[in-house]
Structure 1
């Protein structure tokens, strides 16, 4: 059994995490829990050292960063997982530099996410045991090569001298001079899994590694290992070539050949992200991160591309995004005037945010546009739920800006075809709608609006039903719930705070009404559309 220590100052979170996980399933047991870093450090130094430490970052007396630094001064073997909040990303980035395995966000953590993180940690521990007991005997060269490269590049488990020793022992095609890392990402990997009938991806991994290794043998250049399900990490060294132009041309030749083979024999495409060039094995982790940033440009530039980090132009990328968003103006002009103003305000706010080159922020923008209440105001709740779910699922599968924009354009076209085009409301109902949209968060009534319009409540009720196809209470509730969706998507407010801001005095009633309106409760809605849909916490730093 591997020993686990949980370090968290919030007692309910600490005990809840300790008691809710089936630790036996991961070959683990909780040996201790501590309320702050100092307690954890005392246990670490005076008792049996834990194999895994799950720690918060912000704690009294001694915080998580200081605790991690102290532990890393002693050993690099203990696996560390961060348990933290969304606003702690600056601290998480600091922790990443100290060699943590992963992180879990308290607000959004799910059983599936915890399972994924613990399985990853369990795999790392198993790899350490294998390498620790091998004593230099190579049982499976390919597996050992993968473990050695990953544990040096990702987890810093070896010194440079130990890594060099393993390279020589395995006779790898690597040299510390002029190193370049390339990340290959299989495009639309879910479709490839379906084609191979391989839900876990193991058959795909083994098949592709065999093909890729064979191609590298032919070129007599570099090594490749798998990285996550759809990614493969290439390391090249060019000791024998001094010209950067010649190196780039050879890289292009190797990667293009790989793309052709994958297309010809498997009918699939792949995108490469290529780092800069540095010398020294100590630079491999930096080059790996550069290759990740390069391949992420696929979202902006399309699939089946060779993307060199040195070619990335932030200004050009931002201009590309601006042009892509401007193409919707014609369709926005065809919907209700209020809806047009709302979506253009959302887009304008995004355009001035300085986040145009960040994929996750663009994905969040499309989520907000899908859920913009005034765009779908002319449709019934069931129609809105069905449409948003269908196009949300389609856009979730989009891997590029072009694909996401095409899906959103289809969504707008369907809204327009279903009656979401401009239509004239009577003067009284237009004023009533404006009154509700301005004061939805207040305790307003049909009588109050009727008095404001100098109409009788009964007559105003008839107008609501006739022109909006719903009564006053239904319309007010819908506006409040749609505004709640905007706050859940655009802020970190808690559920009860959202309820208060949109005019619900009872959080329980708000939660029930929200579930009836959307099919899920508020926190579930946020997890579904922000975390699961955009992948915000999916991209884990190594």
Structure 2
């Protein structure tokens, strides 16, 4: 009966006892989770769609029990909901007018239904995000924020940033403090440290490798900045979580 989820209800399937191993981590590995969060932050609609489609393709190939696939779909939804927070808690209420999104997901009966729902959801999410984004920040700040989130490991001075958006350094500094309530350098450090925190939680990479990955050449400076923003050292932060087993390569 579970096979109709993948191929539709108007079929007959020979019975075979399914394997009950936990396949959720295989269907939606940490690398894909990090990549999806990355695309959500960049508001890259095509990138979001690509990752979700890749996960659903694995579901179709693995043909695991329905509850495993629903669990993975809920994890995908959770990634998007985490991305909502940057727009405010109530920003996406209109997407849940008929029913909460999680209730819609747990009612999936076919994989094709899940594909269609996520396709429509990503389009609606992206449209709403762009609308809110456009009303929240000036065009110059929007452009730089998206650039920094995509290129946080690259050195970028205030002068270079000002040249990118064709404004003076002083004016750009004023805009950052006015709209983001922090300086340009503080914002870049916040993005880098948040990325480092994710990697400390989800990987076993050594601290120097994480520092390099998020844009710090000096491991000691990385440690000082991290402690200032997180209130603890990278080592103390990592100690809060169970030991990760992830060994995937860093995002480019």
Q: Which has the higher helix share?
A: 2
Larger RCO of the pair (alpha carbons < 8 Å, separation 6+): 2
Q: Could you state the TM-score of these two structures normalised by the residue count of structure 1?
A: 0.25
Structure with higher Rg: it is 1
